Structure 1
């Protein structure tokens, strides 16, 4: 028979087990509650960040249209759209924004999408030289864009070169949707991309180069005789405000660098494409956004149109691209 003392021991053991189970259940419920709260908070903050980003986008569109009305046919880096929006306090954090003129870069899609792609190919060749990069990269970039299977004589690469990689894939055979696709092109390593990407862009074909906002390297791509010093005189520390192409190139002409009418193809002093960047910080968590905006003057399509939206900072995107491109890009 079991004595009263043994019965009390068993009861105490059962009570301890019950308490332990209760504690485990309560801890599990609390943990689930905290996770649910964190998920809800993250969703709400994400939606709040998107709302702020859309507001910044609409604000950028207003500034661009106001600038078009005040300065038709002329865009430079000393206009209102180029002034960054400093950090502004908002419920839960802060927002800031800036805009960049994409017509100041060399549009890679002009290599295949224009009536005279040879002009743009020459400019890409000279841009690579100005950046001290391998000029043969121009051949690989052109082959990535064009729809034929003919290998460019100057460093080109078609499907056969990419299918032989440890991670096989094919050429795009279409225009770039985003400049980051360069990391898939043979020979474009992380270092090459870091130097080339700020000077090029992926826009609808036939976009022009704005001489007021073009960098020194892009200006050097206009002619093989264009030195860095001469390009710097045209660039004027990024504050150039030339009223027409002839005035901008007069500095070069005075130094004996006269561009022919054909070499002036695709040059201008106004812009249609802009990159709007927004930095939304909520609960000390950054939410970077960017939008490619097209500004159209007059006509049925007059106004500002969003061509592309993306989320995430350049450094994060670059690190992902470097990791993906490490095996894909041949030296």
Structure 2
């Protein structure tokens, strides 16, 4: 038997192929490791920059109570001519404006909350905008309407009983205003009453549905079941889960509603803006056809606002309903505020929405939501 001996030249070729294969594998592995390291480094940098931007935003949030105290000290009214109502830039280097890096060197504009603005140079800091929460319909006031379950007091002096009665009156007004607001948006009367009743059922503590309302029995039978809240709303976004509400309708009224931690409903006529005109129309019992008349009244509002509700009703004229229900739902001062703060750092940004309660000269942070604005 003969054995064919391989030539040295052929053995060298096989060895070269093995070396090249190993080299190719090592290059692929090294490239993958390098790319993964780069991504990990970028991810870490993003987290660090975001956290720093968040700290700037928290710093802006901490300044809001000081600004509110200073602006509203010894003031009998709350109006848009005061310092708190102005957008506030808080840079960490004087002379610059807050903003993100431009997309390219020629771009000299950026956006904050959807609004373009110019800046002198890129920097680090925060920007804050304070919003009055007394120019929206408090959904939690609906739970004080007749038929809702609320706790009565045994106070012998009748102080808390009076408070409960006032709260009930607010509930009656809030229900009427809510239905009118929905109807002004083109919602039929029957559907508007369904949404209002279902909202009251969502907030109250019992399991007895009102006429046109809904409790756990209705929601648990849906394709994606859930239960009613049966307590005050923590956020207005809960309205999206109410029977009869749709995403399209919610987007039309989201700027008119809020969820405050109390059962009262007061609308500050001194801080009403164009976006809240539909709500004020509903309070006055007007239809959309009187929008221009209302716009003219607000346009001629004094810079420091009206001193009393009666002054506003006089400006509205004979066309306005000056009944006790309307006047009791209007005010010239505010106790709740929302601050939208955006922090910037090295191209990163963080947004915080904070909620404050004002009692006399004390301003307290009562809630916070980290994330985007509406």
Superposed pair shares fold, TM > 0.5: yes
Gapped regions of structure 2 (runs ≥ 5): 90-96, 101-121, 145-166
For residues 291 and 277 of structure 1, what CA distance do their matches in structure 2 show? 7
Structure 1: gaps spanning 5 or more residues: 315-331
Aligned to 2:252: 195
Q: Residue 138 of structure 2 corresponds to which residue in structure 1? A: 107
Q: Residue 123 of structure 1 contacts residue 222 of structure 1 at CA under 8 Å; is this kept in 2?
A: yes
* Cα distance in 2, alignment partners of residues 272 and 143 from structure 1: 27
Q: Contact (CA 8 Å) 2:208, 2:215: kept in 1 or not?
A: yes
Matches within 5 A, 1:272-311: 272-282=335-345, 284=347, 286-298=349-361, 302-311=362-371
Match of 1:216 among 277, 285, 294: 277
Q: Which residue of 2 aligns with 1:184?
A: 241
Q: Distance in 2 between matches of 1:31 and 1:267?
A: 61
8 Å contact from structure 1 (residues 104, 209) kept in 2 = yes
Q: Give the Cα–Cα distance (whole angstroms) in 2 for the partners of residues 52 and 291 of structure 1.
A: 14
Residue 306 of structure 2 is matched in structure 1 by: 242
Paired positions, count: 308
Rg larger in structure: 2
* 2:277 paired with 1:251: no
Does residue 83 of the first structure (1) align with residue 86 of the second (2)? yes
Aligned equivalent of 2:232, options 175, 179, 187: 175
Partner of 1:321: none
**Where does 1:1-331 land on structure 2 (aligned, <5 Å)?**
1-69=5-73, 72-85=75-88, 87-89=97-99, 95-113=126-144, 114-116=167-169, 117-134=171-188, 135-136=192-193, 137-153=195-211, 155-205=212-262, 206=264, 208-214=266-272, 215-224=276-285, 227-236=290-299, 241-252=305-316, 254-255=317-318, 257-282=320-345, 284=347, 286-298=349-361, 302-314=362-374
Of 98-107 and 265-274, more deviation after overlay is shown by: 265-274
Q: Alpha-carbon deviation of 1:221? A: 2.4
My pick for the range that moved more, 42-51 or 278-287, is: 278-287
Q: Provide Cα deviations, 1:142-189, integer angstroms capped at 9, x if missing partner.
A: 222222233332x32222322222111121111111111111112211
- 1:169–1:238 distance in 2 versus 1, CA, 3 Å: farther
Alpha-carbon distance change, 149 to 304 in structure 1, aligned in 2, over 3 angstroms: closer
**Taking structure 1 as reference, are residues 296 and 170 closer, same or farther at Cα in structure 2, changes over 3 Å only?**
same
Root-mean-square deviation (Å): 2.6
Residues 279-304 of structure 1 show CA distances to partners (whole Å, capped at 9, x for unaligned) of: 34555555333212223323xxx234
**Mapped partners of 1:239, 1:202: distance in 2:** 29
TM value normalised by structure 1: 0.83
Distance 1:236 1:133 in 2: 28
Note if contact 2:356-2:363 (Cα within 8 Å) is conserved in structure 1. Answer: no
Please identify which structure carries the higher helix content. Answer: 1
Q: Could you tell me how far apart the structure 2 residues matched to 1:85 and 1:212 are?
A: 20
Distance between the aligned counterparts of 1:34 and 1:63, measured in 2? 43
Alpha-carbon offset, residue 37 of structure 1: 0.4
TM score, norm. by length of structure 2 = 0.74
CA positional deviation for 1:228? 3.2
